[in-house]
């Protein structure tokens, strides 16, 4: 075991040597042990060391409970990209919105950090078997690293875990045990099994290597933000994001992130921890309920009601209290998103940014959309979403029934000898003729048009035309008779008011519904000019409100 760190009791402060099988304080019996390193010497040597090292989580090995700097089980975990969400950020008026792409870990979630570090610890201690309870992703990550280390894994999963995930765990050679009960009950079964056999059990927040592993996420984020945006100008060399955002179940991620910022602060690298935006699934949100009531302890949710198995921890226990204390001191909020809001966020992120995530991560994105709209997140805030998770086989309820188009080839086109026939182009033509609502976007500002087009495309199937000034808009309306016009009022020369008056005066275009968009408050005279002539007036930038969507649906019939 490494000598240069110790385990300290959170309750009585006693310091003892770390042993993965001795999970209690020798003095008071508490299971809450935390790692302490030699921060003073690390503060001077770490900056130079980091400059020479590759970008994987092992670059921080002096701050991990291992002695081996690059264990043989490594598969390149950590070191994931920090992606700028430009379009989504424009839509939400958040200039610095980032996605820490934890999908790019070996088994596609940030649980690979936990599994890689813990399995390395067990290997150094000579252990050959372990137990984990999981809502899916933890067990997959452990199964992969346990296979690499030759460690036998007993994986207890709830029956909510999708069958594909169970099969993936089994493929790695782990023993899968399905428990028909909630996640909290599954954890109890796994704990009893581990106790009877004297095996190492990952106990989440109570397992020292688990919390330590999650720190690496924060170390990377701060290094990446500093490289991208420069030093923060506070006298500290590393940047802290304004917000760390994550969908939470047991909230190990945020606990590890706080631990990381405590250490970075002790070493003089950062000023303070970020604010946390922690999002739970509405059907299983014990922390959100407690936070809203200002309570320091969370009431368990006995029967989670969410389709999102990954987020089904109903009993947060002491983790909530630990977070409550930190968030009361450093800022942050808990909020909930429904399964439906998550599904919508999943579509938006995939269609606007090319990033496909599992429902649990979509919950985090839905949370950001909410907090941005509520003004809790501000335009200049630097926001990082812990974007993790497998892309599962997409369940059909997420797509509805209009996602697939088919082409039936005529007999002759199937024959390789025959030339491209009339029949083939007729078959392809059917792809274009099915009628979809036609929306015209009128705005003199190109980025605004592109953004609106993306938003509409992410919401459904529309034919979209664009015009960049009032004259073009009038010509377009006369030529194409769109089903709806989204019209910017403030344009040079022929402005939106004139377009409306012209279209309303012409019987051929008088009936076309118009949603007017404006960036500024209107004068009484301007309001009078619009009165009775448009269906709705929207402030610019509020494109994604449910209200606008309902409006569009209603107008399109």
Residues 321, 296: contact at Cβ < 8 Å?
yes
Q: Which does 14 bind (CB under 5 to 8 A by kind): Zn ion, ligand PLP, none?
A: Zn ion
| Residues in region 193-212 near ligand PLP by CB under 6 A | none
| Residues in region 433-452 near Zn ion by CB under 5 A | none
Q: Which does 89 bind (CB under 5 to 8 A by kind): ligand PLP, Zn ion, none?
A: none
Q: Kindly tell me which of 332 and 513 has the beta carbon lying closer to ligand PLP.
A: 332
Q: Kindly tell me which of 226 and 310 has the beta carbon lying closer to ligand PLP.
A: 310
Q: Which does 329 bind (CB under 5 to 8 A by kind): Zn ion, ligand PLP, none?
A: none
**Smallest distance from the beta carbon of 247 to ligand PLP, in angstroms?**
4
Applying CB under 5 A, the span of 7-15, 369-377, 408-416, 443-451 interacting with Zn ion comes to 7-15
Query: What backbone torsions phi and psi does residue 178 show, to the nearest 5 degrees?
Result: -90, 125
Beta bridge partners of 494: none
Q: Positive or negative, the Cα torsion across 514, 519, 521, 522?
A: negative
Pairing of strands 514-518, 463-467: unpaired
| Residues in region 42-61 near Zn ion by CB under 5 A | none
**Smallest distance from the beta carbon of 210 to ligand PLP, in angstroms?**
9
**Smallest distance from the beta carbon of 101 to ligand PLP, in angstroms?**
12
Among 123, 275, 310, 315, binds ligand PLP (CB under 6 A): 310
Selection from 124, 176, 134, 185 nearest residue 152 by Cα:
176
**Beta strands in 204-331, from DSSP E residues, in sequence order:** 243-247, 275-281
Q: Which does 253 bind (CB under 5 to 8 A by kind): Zn ion, ligand PLP, none?
A: ligand PLP
DSSP 6-55: EEEETTT--EE---TT--S-TTT--S-EEEEE-HHHHHHHHHHHHHTS-S
CA distance 451 to 456: 9
As a residue count, the chain comes to 557
CA 247 to chain centre: 7
Instruction: Write the interaction track for ligand PLP spanning residues 104-143; mark x where CB under 6 A is met and - where it is not.
Output: -----x-x-------------------------x------
**Smallest distance from the beta carbon of 25 to ligand PLP, in angstroms?**
24
Residue 148 found at the interface with ligand PLP (CB under 6 A): no
Residues 256, 213: contact at Cβ < 8 Å?
yes
Selection from 213, 269, 240, 268 nearest residue 332 by Cα:
240
**Smallest distance from the beta carbon of 4 to Zn ion, in angstroms?**
22
Q: Which residues contact 309 (CB under 8 A, 6 or more apart)?
A: 135, 136, 158, 160, 161, 162, 183
| Residues in region 244-303 near ligand PLP by CB under 6 A | 247-253
Per rule CB under 6 A, count of chain residues that contact ligand PLP: 16
Q: Which does 388 bind (CB under 5 to 8 A by kind): Zn ion, ligand PLP, none?
A: ligand PLP
| Residues in region 9-38 near Zn ion by CB under 5 A | 9, 11-12, 14, 25, 27-28, 30
**Smallest distance from the beta carbon of 262 to ligand PLP, in angstroms?**
17
Q: Which does 137 bind (CB under 5 to 8 A by kind): Zn ion, ligand PLP, none?
A: ligand PLP
| Residues in region 384-443 near ligand PLP by CB under 6 A | 388-389
Q: Which residues contact 377 (CB under 8 A, 6 or more apart)?
A: 92, 94, 242, 243, 277, 368, 371, 383
Q: CA end-to-end span of the chain, whole Å?
A: 69
**Alpha helix (H) residue ranges in 65-206:** 86-92, 111-124, 137-149, 163-171, 183-197
Tokens of 374: 């509520």
**Smallest distance from the beta carbon of 426 to ligand PLP, in angstroms?**
46
**Smallest distance from the beta carbon of 24 to Zn ion, in angstroms?**
8
Tokens of 296: 């320091």
**Smallest distance from the beta carbon of 9 to Zn ion, in angstroms?**
3
Residues 246, 221: contact at Cβ < 8 Å?
no
| Residues in region 334-363 near Zn ion by CB under 5 A | none
**Smallest distance from the beta carbon of 10 to ligand PLP, in angstroms?**
18
Q: Which does 9 bind (CB under 5 to 8 A by kind): ligand PLP, Zn ion, none?
A: Zn ion
Residues 277, 332: contact at Cβ < 8 Å?
yes
Residues 107, 69: contact at Cβ < 8 Å?
no
Pairing of strands 243-247, 275-281: parallel
**Smallest distance from the beta carbon of 6 to Zn ion, in angstroms?**
13
| Helix (H) or strand (E) run with residue 347 in it | helix 339-353
Q: Which does 542 bind (CB under 5 to 8 A by kind): ligand PLP, Zn ion, none?
A: none
| Residues in region 365-394 near ligand PLP by CB under 6 A | 388-389
CA distance 229 to 178: 46
**Smallest distance from the beta carbon of 389 to ligand PLP, in angstroms?**
3
Q: Which does 12 bind (CB under 5 to 8 A by kind): ligand PLP, Zn ion, none?
A: Zn ion
Q: Kindly tell me which of 88 and 248 has the beta carbon lying closer to ligand PLP.
A: 248
Binding site for Zn ion (CB under 5 A): 9, 11-12, 14, 25, 27-28, 30
Binding site for ligand PLP (CB under 6 A): 109, 111, 137, 247-253, 310, 358, 360-361, 388-389
């Amino acid at each position: 075991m490494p000598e240069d760190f110790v385990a300290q009791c959170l309750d009585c402060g006693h310091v003892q040597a770390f042993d993965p099988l001795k999970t209690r304080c020798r003095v008071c019996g508490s299971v809450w042990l935390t790692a302490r390193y030699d921060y003073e010497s690390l503060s001077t040597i770490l900056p130079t060391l980091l400059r020479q090292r590759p970008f994987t989580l092992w670059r921080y090995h002096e701050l991990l409970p291992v002695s081996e700097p690059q264990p043989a089980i490594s598969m390149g975990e950590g070191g994931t990209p920090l992606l700028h969400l430009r379009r989504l950020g424009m839509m939400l008026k958040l200039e610095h919105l980032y996605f820490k792409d934890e999908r790019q870990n070996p088994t596609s979630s940030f649980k690979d950090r936990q599994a890689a570090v813990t399995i390395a610890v067990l290997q150094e201690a000579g252990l050959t078997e372990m137990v984990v309870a999981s809502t899916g992703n933890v067990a997959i990550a452990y199964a992969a690293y346990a296979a690499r280390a030759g460690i036998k894994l007993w994986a207890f999963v709830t029956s909510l875990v999708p069958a594909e995930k169970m099969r993936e765990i089994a493929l790695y050679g782990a023993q899968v045990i399905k428990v028909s009960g909630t996640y909290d009950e599954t954890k109890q079964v796994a704990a009893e099994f581990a106790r009877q056999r004297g095996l190492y059990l990952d106990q989440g927040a109570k397992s020292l290597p688990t919390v330590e592993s999650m720190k690496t996420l924060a170390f990377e984020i701060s290094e990446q933000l500093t490289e991208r945006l420069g030093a923060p100008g506070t006298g500290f060399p590393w940047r802290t994001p304004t917000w760390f955002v994550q969908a939470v179940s047991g909230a190990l991620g945020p606990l590890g992130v706080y631990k990381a910022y405590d250490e970075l602060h002790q070493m003089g690298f950062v000023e303070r921890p970020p604010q946390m935006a922690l999002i739970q699934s509405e059907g299983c949100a014990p922390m959100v309920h407690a936070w809203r009531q200002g309570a320091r302890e969370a009431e368990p949710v006995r029967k989670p009601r969410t389709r999102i198995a990954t987020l089904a921890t109903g009993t947060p226990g002491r983790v909530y209290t630990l977070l409550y204390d930190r968030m009361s001191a450093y800022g942050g909020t808990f909020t909930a998103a429904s399964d439906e809001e998550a599904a919508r966020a999943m579509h938006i992120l995939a269609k606007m940014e090319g990033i496909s995530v599992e429902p649990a991560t979509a919950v985090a994105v839905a949370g950001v959309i909410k907090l941005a709209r509520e003004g809790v997140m501000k335009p200049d805030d630097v926001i990082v979403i812990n974007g993790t998770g497998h892309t599962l086989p997409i369940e059909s309820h997420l797509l509805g029934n209009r996602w697939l188009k088919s082409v039936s080839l005529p007999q002759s086109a199937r024959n390789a000898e025959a030339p491209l026939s009339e029949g083939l182009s007729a078959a392809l033509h059917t792809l274009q003729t099915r009628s979809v609502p036609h929306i015209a976007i009128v705005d003199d500002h190109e980025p605004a048009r592109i953004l609106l087009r993306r938003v509409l495309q992410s919401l459904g199937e529309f034919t979209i035309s664009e015009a960049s000034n009032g004259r073009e808009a009038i010509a377009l309306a006369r030529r194409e008779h769109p089903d709806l016009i989204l019209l910017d009022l403030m344009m040079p020369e022929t402005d939106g008011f004139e377009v409306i008056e012209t279209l309303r005066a012409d019987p051929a275009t008088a009936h076309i519904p118009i949603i007017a968009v404006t960036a500024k408050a209107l004068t009484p005279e301007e309001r009078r000019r619009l009165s009775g002539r448009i269906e709705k007036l929207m402030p610019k930038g509020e494109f994604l409100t449910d209200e606008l969507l309902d409006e569009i649906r209603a107008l399109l019939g």
